[in-house]
Structure 1
Amino acid sequence: MPSVQILRASAASFLIAALAACSSTPDKPKPADLPANVSLLGVRQAWSAKLGDVSFPLTTSVSGNTVAVASNNGTLLALDGATGRELWRASVGAPLSAGVGSDGKVTAVVTRENEVVALEAGRVLWRQRLGAQTYTAPLVAGGRVFLLAADRSVAAFDGQTGRRLWNQQRTGEALVLGQSSVLLAVGDTLVAGMSGRLVGMNPANGSTRWEAAIAAPRGTNEVERLVDLVGSVSRVGNVVCARAFQSAVGCVDAQSGRLLWTKPALSSEGVGGNDTAVFGTEGDGNVLAWSRVDGERLWSSERLRYRTLSAPLAVGRSVVVGDGSGLVHFLSREDGSALTRMPTDGSAIAADPVLAGNTVVVVTHNGGVFGFQPE
């Protein structure tokens, strides 16, 4: 998982500092010992591929059966999710700060030089300079590329030409996180994470339709008041569930903007879910499940404590999480008990697991891309 950073917005630049909450310390608790693999669920490694190292906040893009990933140095790779066959490979020629976003046709990433780059079938279509750093993967939808920048601006570009269609600047807390936030489409509404709020926007012009607070800033200083939304979200129909950094998990009706529920929760990772539950991993390695209806706790598992877990992925009767040693754990969605686990290359899982067809895809810090399929 990417390290967390704090960025202070100013008119000229961003001041960067590390956040101690996710850094290693001499007295860091030892990860829980793992018992013998129970192998209650048949899973096989179907394929693997190789990229360069991944330490930026990578989002693995899935469009249909196509999986798009990227490495630190700006290499992009598109794979067939079923077989792992390489569809195309390209380089944007610069290190990356955000990506990957794709609709299966246009693929977009952002470089550390604040440039959004769009490609089609591995060929660069256009490049556009941005006014601020970006850590959230672009959203490619409706023939447009949408960007959420660290200065809390949201912009839209024409997917084929790169022409800027609109830009909306918002104010917020002085600090933002140097990791992926929330940006997705729900029907005809663009939903973005702004501080501790989900904001519904008109994708045609960026105007605000509604706002819903997952968490509100608290505390006496800027660090304590930091409540940015982070990581993966769980969407079922019009309901979007998200996490506010080290603060809360909540669900919002993205059609009306109504907050359905919010519950205290401490983590820097996003959430997963299905039609009945929302799943999350806490900073101490606990795995939790909340009722999707009202947020009441369904179960909690301590089996993976202190193992530095990814956000969960709900797949059939299992919940999938990756850990800091490169293991992929398949847990029961009913109670969090172990079903099986699969190894990768021994380096930490660097991007939240995703599902392409019936293949669970994970990416490691060392650039390994692995596809696992139930038997």
Structure 2
Amino acid sequence: MKPQRNTPALARAGAWPRGGRAVAVIACVAMLAGCSTIKGWFGGDGEKAAAKRAAEPAELVEFTPSASASRLWSASAGKGEDQLGVRQGPVVADGRVYAAAVDGGVRAFDLQSGASVWHYDSDLRLSGGPGVGDGLVVVGSLDGEVVALDAATGAERWHATVPNEVIAAPVIGQGLVFVRSNDGRLSAFDAASGERRWFWTRELPTLTVRGNDGPVLGPGFVFIGNDDGTLAALSLADGRQMWDLPVAQPDGRTELDRMAVIDGTPVLDGTVLYASSYKQATMAVDAPSGRPIWGSDRGGSSRPGLSVDKVLVADRNGTVWGLDRSSGSPAWEQAGLARRNLGGVAVHGDYAVVGDLDGYLHWLRLDNGEFAARERAGRAAIKGAPVVADGILVVQNVKGDLTAWRID
């Protein structure tokens, strides 16, 4: 059964049921908001108030900044995702920022100044962020439409369809466009013509976290994290599965306990692939062979960041971890952002950066995880991972607003 679309209550909870299980949805509302107990739902007013306080986002603590973040420019991509839970974000290539909005089409901006370069207007509800490569900008919609645009001009090059909504940014490279739809399918299209070359499908678990991310490309391979907690390597030529590996085991007494989804795009550096799971697990893998190098019991569903010596992950409780790249052991943890619904982690110079539910950006020192700077990008949540290019960090919030930052 295909997943339902556009159910705000589920999007706010951060979970997406397969098969309409109302009891599981209620559990998700409590658990994914950061609750450690449901005691008090059926108790007195005092217990209810205590449970409510325990679920509230941590208050931001004051600190003495050791770095200065400055806003370079602001712009709008259009009407953003709001409560859809699709984690839209921009992409940067060749000195331009490309961004899509649910209502507003696709826009290109100059990275340095934020000046508008072109605008592709569309009635499609563009839900995933754009992908860029091979002279194309490609974006998908809530209705399974895929549109490829000329990266230089914004002119439409081709159009295709997939069987389900697209809430992940397409990935482009090696002559192909890869589109992940929300039914567990990865489709490969010819980058020049839009003709479908092959598709691969992974069966979805009954319950999974709302939102997913794109695959990552390697020489002759495409790697994808799945909703069942596995990481798979596919042949670029024909989509044949070369190996798969569990990053986290979907075990537990309930479907909620068994959620092990890998929703953030894995990170490939050389021949080592890093993937992180909602079930508090991160793994380093030898990409050509699928051989595990190390595993850690710290992790999260959002996209990890990678520095010279650390893997940066934000777990579902709001703790940011700096894991040693060679062993996976924790070098530091920053627990000051508890229950603030953090997005993916980016590396910006000597800092890890993450956005939160109130639109704040937090810069953490890579050496020890201490707060270095904090600025507010707007008053709407930041769910997607920031992107960094040429020393500039760009982020998009759920209202479709873009901001660009430097750090000194």
Q: What's the TM-score once normalised by structure 2's chain length?
A: 0.83
How far is 1:39 from its partner?
Answer: 3.0
How big is each residue's C-alpha offset from its partner over 1:255-301, in whole Å with a ceiling of 9 and x where there is no partner?
Answer: 22111122223633231121311111122222111111111111112
How far is 1:42 from its partner?
Answer: 2.9
1:364 aligns with 2:397: yes
1:131 aligns with 2:157: no
Match of 1:39 in 2: 65
1:143 aligns with 2:175: yes
**Equivalent position to 1:278, from 290, 311, 316:** 311
Query: Alpha carbon RMSD of aligned pairs, Å?
Result: 2.4
Q: What's the TM-score once normalised by structure 1's chain length?
A: 0.90
How big is each residue's C-alpha offset from its partner over 1:227-268, in whole Å with a ceiling of 9 and x where there is no partner?
Answer: 221124333222221211233111212122111122223633
Alpha carbons 1:9, 1:151 under 8 Å: kept: no
1:346 aligns with 2:379: yes
The amino acid that maps onto 2:170 is P
How far is 1:37 from its partner?
Answer: 5.3
Other structure's SS at 2:129 match: strand
**Equivalent position to 2:220, from 179, 185, 188:** 188
**Equivalent position to 2:131, from 79, 101, 111:** 101
**Equivalent position to 1:164, from 188, 196, 199:** 196
The amino acid that maps onto 1:34 is L
1:29 aligns with 2:55: yes
CA distance in 1 between counterparts of 2:64 and 2:119 reads: 38
| Poorly superposed stretches of 4+, deviation over 6 Å | none
Alpha carbons 1:64, 1:104 under 8 Å: kept: no
Alpha carbons 2:278, 2:315 under 8 Å: kept: no
The amino acid that maps onto 1:292 is R
Identify if the C-alpha distance between structure 1 residues 260 and 173 changes in structure 2 by more than 3 Å, giving closer, same or farther.
same
Match of 1:316 in 2: 349
How far is 1:354 from its partner?
Answer: 0.8
CA distance in 1 between counterparts of 2:34 and 2:101 reads: 23
Describe how 1:112-261 pairs up with structure 2 within 5 A: 112-120=142-150, 121-194=153-226, 195-261=228-294
CA distance in 1 between counterparts of 2:356 and 2:347 reads: 16
Identify if the C-alpha distance between structure 1 residues 318 and 241 changes in structure 2 by more than 3 Å, giving closer, same or farther.
same
Describe how 1:282-321 pairs up with structure 2 within 5 A: 282-321=315-354
Alpha carbons 1:54, 1:350 under 8 Å: kept: no
CA distance in 2 between counterparts of 1:157 and 1:280 reads: 31
How big is each residue's C-alpha offset from its partner over 1:52-74, in whole Å with a ceiling of 9 and x where there is no partner?
Answer: 22333314222233221111225
CA distance in 2 between counterparts of 1:310 and 1:169 reads: 26
CA distance in 2 between counterparts of 1:104 and 1:234 reads: 20
Other structure's SS at 2:295 match: strand
Which segment is superposed worse, 195-204 or 27-36? 27-36
The amino acid that maps onto 1:71 is A
Alpha carbons 1:74, 1:92 under 8 Å: kept: yes
Match of 1:49 in 2: 75
Match of 1:13 in 2: none
Which segment is superposed worse, 54-63 or 276-285? 54-63
Identify if the C-alpha distance between structure 1 residues 358 and 70 changes in structure 2 by more than 3 Å, giving closer, same or farther.
same
How far is 1:23 from its partner?
Answer: 4.4
Q: Which has the larger radius of gyration?
A: 2
Alpha carbons 1:114, 1:132 under 8 Å: kept: yes
CA distance in 1 between counterparts of 2:110 and 2:93 reads: 10
Identify if the C-alpha distance between structure 1 residues 172 and 363 changes in structure 2 by more than 3 Å, giving closer, same or farther.
closer
The amino acid that maps onto 1:5 is A
The amino acid that maps onto 2:290 is G
Match of 2:98 in 1: 68
CA distance in 2 between counterparts of 1:114 and 1:32 reads: 38
More strand by share: 1
Identify if the C-alpha distance between structure 1 residues 83 and 253 changes in structure 2 by more than 3 Å, giving closer, same or farther.
farther
Match of 1:79 in 2: 109
Give unmatched runs, 5+ long, in structure 1.
11-15
More helix by share: 2
The amino acid that maps onto 1:22 is L
How far is 1:93 from its partner?
Answer: 1.5
CA distance in 2 between counterparts of 1:199 and 1:145 reads: 18
Higher RCO, 1 vs 2 (CA within 8 Å, ≥6 residues apart): 1
Give unmatched runs, 5+ long, in structure 2.
1-10, 36-51
Aligned residues: 369
The amino acid that maps onto 1:109 is V
Alpha carbons 2:261, 2:301 under 8 Å: kept: no
How far is 1:149 from its partner?
Answer: 2.4
